[in-house]
């Protein structure tokens, strides 16, 4: 009986932890950008500051979907589809329409479709 209670308690704790993680994704505001130059639009820098927290530093996926190793190219062959998701959000992914310019979105999407695919 004691073992079953311990297992049940651990399951409840795991569910509570998962619930807090999901809740944090919904209430967490996208991070503010602190780019190295006001004029520079660097997809890698934007990815590092805005996307890597969920998608992983190399696009390997964490809370967010995997993007590297062709995953984004397979799931969204059309670049416009990825741009739309970045702008409007989908599922757990927040919208970045208010926090990124069109030029920044274009740069980070291009980065995920090219350089991120060969990141080591």
Reported as a single tens digit per residue, the pLDDT across 1-43 is 687 777 787 788 787 877 666 666 655 555 555 655 544 578 9
Residue identified by tokens 């695919």 is: 117
CA distances from 43 to 24, 104, 105, 110 (A): 25, 7, 8, 7
Reported as a single tens digit per residue, the pLDDT across 46-92 is 999 999 999 999 999 988 999 999 999 999 999 999 999 999 999 88
Q: Which domain holds residue 57?
A: 32-118
Residue 7 and residue 14 in contact, taking contact as beta carbons nearer than 8 Å: no
Indicate if 67 and 113 belong to the same structural domain: yes
Please tell me the total count of domains within the chain.
2
Residue 91 and residue 49 in contact, taking contact as beta carbons nearer than 8 Å: no
CATH number for the domain spanning 63: value is 1.10.760.10
């Amino acid at each position: 009986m004691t073992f079953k209670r311990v297992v049940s308690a651990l399951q409840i704790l795991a569910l509570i932890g998962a619930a807090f993680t999901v809740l944090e994704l919904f209430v967490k505001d996208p991070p503010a950008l602190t780019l190295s130059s006001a004029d520079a639009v660097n997809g890698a820098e934007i990815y590092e500051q805005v996307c890597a927290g969920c998608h992983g530093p190399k696009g390997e996926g964490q809370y967010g979907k995997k993007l590297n190793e062709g995953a984004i190219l397979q799931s969204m062959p059309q670049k416009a589809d990825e741009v739309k998701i970045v702008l409007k959000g989908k599922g757990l992914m927040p919208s970045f329409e208010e926090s990124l310019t069109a030029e920044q979105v274009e740069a980070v999407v291009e980065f995920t479709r090219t350089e991120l695919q060969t990141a080591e």
